[in-house]
Structure 1
Amino acid sequence: MTTAQIALSIVMIIASLFLIVVVLLQSGAQQGLGAISGGAETFFGAGKASAADKVLARLTSVVGVIFVIAAIVLNVVH
């Protein structure tokens, strides 16, 4: 293995672990659960949650693209 292949392999491992963590941190689709909890989320609490979800969604996209690009480059180099 060349140095480039080792570096790309390390990038792939880090990106895959980070991608797993970011996906697991995202909240699931909670449709209809507001009635069960009695509408406990306030307007400000819901806004903060959606802002965090937007950041996590963007991180997921960025890390996913990095992962795919590293996989393609590693496949071409190999």
Structure 2
Amino acid sequence: MSALLIVMQVIYVLIGLALIWIILLQESKSAGLGAIGGAAESYWGKNKARSLEGTFERYTKIGAFIFILLALFLNILM
């Protein structure tokens, strides 16, 4: 049981570091002055899910979900 706990804690720390890294790579959500004239919504904005930003957003959601589940699991084991 002790080895399993250590392995899970290492995975927990690695997922936490990966989440920090992915979040820091994302662009900010502020549209700036382009939002005043309606220039914020473009073809690029509509197809964001297929872009690198969309991929980072999806990985952030998945990583956060795994991080929370692992935190609950580690709490039960301790």
Q: TM-score, normalised by structure 1?
A: 0.75
Over the matched positions of the two proteins, sequence identity in percent amounts to: 29
Task: Please provide the CA RMSD for this pair.
Answer: 2.3
Question: How does the TM-score come out when normalised to structure 2?
Answer: 0.75
Does residue 52 of the first structure (1) align with residue 52 of the second (2)?
yes
Counterparts of 1:70 and 1:5 in 2: how far apart (Å)? 11
- Structure 1 spans left out of the alignment, 5+ residues: none
The higher-RCO structure (CA 8 Å, 6+ apart) is 1
Q: For residues 11-51 of structure 1, give each alpha carbon's deviation from its aligned partner in whole angstroms, at most 9, with x where no partner exists.
A: 1110000000000001001313448xxx8xxx78x46xx31
- Unaligned runs of 5+ residues in structure 2 are none
Distance in 2, Cα, partners of 1:70 & 1:33: 41
- Structure 2 CA distance, aligned partners of 1:17 and 1:72? 18
